[in-house]
């Protein structure tokens, strides 16, 4: 079906009609000149004849133009009615319309009904089926909604919000005091996620977010999607606050700027996931697997990362204030300029990690392994480094004021330009094993090793 709009202001004479009008004006001018030149007419008669001729010519010209426009309108109306009734239009009619349009500059605006602006009937049917008792009916409804979202991009956000609401209503996470105290939950206890919930998550995760309004957050707060497979899924800007994602597979998923505040993510797998600027405020990531994940500027304020695997992860400028990283594997991780103030990093594996310029004020690094790590210009003010392994570690220009170096292994550690004047429990034997230069500042009771000079 199409609609035709011919504004009267748009009807005007085109080039051919302008030529005809010019010819009329030329003939009229000749007649007027002949009358004016004729000496047989008095002035009053000349005026009367000229007025009569101009009036007749004007009426004729206006009649022709009006008839042409009227004919075009009638033909367009007939075509419209035939289209509405599903009838075909003869080629002769179309040719006639084309010829008429050639003789007038009429702006015809044709618009077809856009299916994307209408709500398909199966949309309401699918919504009804989401509440069906049969799992297969719910599955069909979910995939029907996905197809509607693809066919009608303007409806995509509404459909994704509907699926998110479906997940929230059917998988609420009821956190109990027992859950909060239980940190020894094994993977064997994870419950299989219902098929329809997994399908809804899959549909949401593979949507095209470029077709959605900007600055919108999908609401998946307080849901229990334990064990969900979200591999490669796109959940950018989603809000998972207070949810349970234990054992979820999020390998290579796009989780940029996702809010995981207070989320239980024990044993979750986030290998190579995009977690730039993700928020993990007070989240439980115990034993989570995040190797090679991009966690640039992510926030782990008071998060639990006990025994988490973060080797080769990008944690540049990440914030771990008061986080628990005890026993975590951070080998070869990039922690440049990261904030690890007041963190528990005891017994953690930081071999080969880049901690240049990192803030480790008051951090507990007892028994941590930092061999071959880079701590250039790192701030270790009052940090606990007791029994930690700093073998071959680069500590040039690091701030170690008030740091506790009891039994710290400094073999071949580079202390060039480092201020050790106010460290605690540093012994001469430890210095003899380390490397430094005359720019290294020592406590008054210790002497510069001969090899350093």
Stretch 426-450: mean pLDDT, rounded?
Answer: 94
Least confident of 7-16, 36-45, 146-155: 7-16
- Each residue's pLDDT tens digit, 220-243: 999 999 999 999 999 999 999 999
pLDDT at 315 exceeding the cut of 80: yes
Helix (H) or strand (E) holding 144, with range, is helix 135-151
CA atoms of 183 and 86, how far apart (whole Å): 69
- Rounded to an integer, what distance in angstroms lies between the CA atom of residue 415 and that of residue 428? 14
Average pLDDT over residues 118-141: 88
Residues 271 and 141 in one domain: yes
In a domain, 304, yes or no: no
| 129 and 104, same domain (yes or no) | no
pLDDT of residue 174: 83
Pick the last residue of a domain from 79, 113, 147: 113
For residue 285, tell me if it sits in a domain.
yes
**187-220 pLDDT, tens per residue?**
445 578 999 999 999 999 999 999 988 888 999 9
Residue 425's pLDDT band, with cuts at 50, 70 and 90, is: very high
Residue 8's SS3 state is helix
Q: How many domains does the chain have?
A: 3
Q: How far apart are CA 385 and CA 355, in angstroms?
A: 15
- Looking at the chain, the whole-number percentage of residues with pLDDT higher than 90 is 65
pLDDT of residue 122: 84
Strand partners, 369: 349, 389
The answer to whether residues 271 and 249 touch, using CB atoms and an 8 Å cutoff, is no
Mean pLDDT of 271-293: 98
Whether residue 302 is contained in a domain is answered as no
- Cα 368 to Cα 128: distance, rounded to the nearest angstrom: 57
Res. 150 pLDDT band, cuts 50 70 90? very high
Same domain, 265 and 360: no
What is the domain range of residue 359?
310-453
439 neighbors 425 (Cβ within 8 angstroms): no
Residues 93 and 127 in one domain: no
Give me the pLDDT at residue 112, please.
Answer: 37
142 falls within a domain? yes
Residues 279, 294: Cα–Cα separation, whole Å: 13
Q: Are residues 153 and 215 in the same domain?
A: yes
Q: Specify the pLDDT at position 109.
A: 43
The pTM (predicted TM-score) of the whole model is: 0.72
The angle subtended at Cα 299 by Cα 296 and Cα 300, nearest 5°, is 120
Shared-domain flag, residues 206 and 147: yes
User: How many CB atoms neighbour CB 150 within 10 A?
Assistant: 14
Interaxial angle between packed helices 135-151 and 195-205, expressed in degrees from 0 to 180 and rounded to the nearest 10: 10
Give me the CATH number covering residue 445.
2.160.20.80
Comparison of pLDDT for 20 and 236, the residue scoring more: 236
Under DSSP, is residue 195 helix (H, G, I), strand (E, B) or coil? helix
Shared domain for 397 and 277, answered yes or no, is: no
């Amino acid at each position: 079906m199409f609609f035709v709009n011919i504004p009267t202001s748009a009807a005007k004479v085109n080039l051919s009609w302008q030529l005809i009008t010019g010819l009329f004006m030329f003939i009229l001018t000749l007649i007027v000149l002949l009358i004016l030149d004729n000496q047989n007419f008095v002035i009053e008669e000349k005026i009367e004849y000229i007025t009569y001729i101009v009036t007749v010519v004007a009426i004729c010209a206006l009649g022709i133009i009006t008839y042409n426009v009227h004919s075009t309108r009638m033909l367009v109306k007939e075509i419209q009615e035939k289209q509405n009734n599903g009838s075909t239009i003869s080629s002769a009619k179309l040719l006639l319309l084309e010829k008429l349009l050639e003789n007038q500059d009429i702006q015809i605006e044709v618009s077809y009904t856009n299916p994307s602006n209408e709500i398909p009937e199966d949309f309401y049917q699918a919504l009804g089926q989401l509440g069906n008792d049969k799992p297969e009916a719910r599955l069909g409804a979910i995939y029907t909604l996905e197809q509607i979202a693809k066919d009608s991009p303007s409806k995509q956000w509404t459909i994704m919000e509907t699926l998110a609401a479906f997940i929230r209503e059917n998988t609420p996470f009821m956190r109990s005091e027992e859950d909060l105290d239980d940190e020894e939950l094994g993977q064997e206890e994870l419950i299989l996620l219902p098929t329809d919930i997994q399908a809804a998550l899959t549909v949401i995760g593979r949507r095209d977010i470029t077709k959605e309004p900007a600055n919108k957050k999908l609401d998946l707060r307080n849901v229990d999607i334990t064990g969900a497979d979200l591999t490669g899924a796109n959940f950018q800007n989603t809000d998972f606050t207070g949810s349970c994602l234990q054992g979820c597979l999020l390998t290579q998923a796009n989780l940029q700027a996702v809010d995981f505040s207070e989320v239980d993510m024990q044993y979750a797998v986030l290998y190579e996931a995009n977690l730039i600027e993700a928020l993990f405020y007070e989240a439980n990531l115990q034993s989570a697997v995040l190797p090679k994940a991009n966690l640039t500027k992510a926030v782990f304020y008071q998060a639990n990362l006990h025994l988490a695997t973060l080797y080769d992860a990008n944690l540049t400028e990440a914030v771990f204030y008061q986080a628990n990283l005890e026993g975590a594997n951070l080998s070869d991780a990039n922690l440049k300029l990261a904030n690890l103030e007041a963190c528990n990093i005891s017994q953690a594996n930081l071999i080969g990690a880049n901690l240049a310029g990192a803030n480790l004020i008051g951090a507990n690094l007892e028994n941590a392994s930092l061999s071959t790590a880079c701590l250039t210009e790192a701030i270790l003010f009052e940090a606990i480094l007791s029994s930690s392994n700093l073998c071959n570690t680069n500590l040039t220009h690091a701030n170690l004021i008030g740091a506790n170096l009891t039994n710290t292994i400094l073999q071949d550690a580079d202390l060039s330009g480092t201020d050790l004047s106010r460290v605690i429990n540093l012994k001469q034997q430890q210095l003899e094993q380390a490397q430094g230069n005359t720019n290294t500042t020592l406590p008054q009771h210790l002497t510069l090793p001969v090899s350093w000079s």
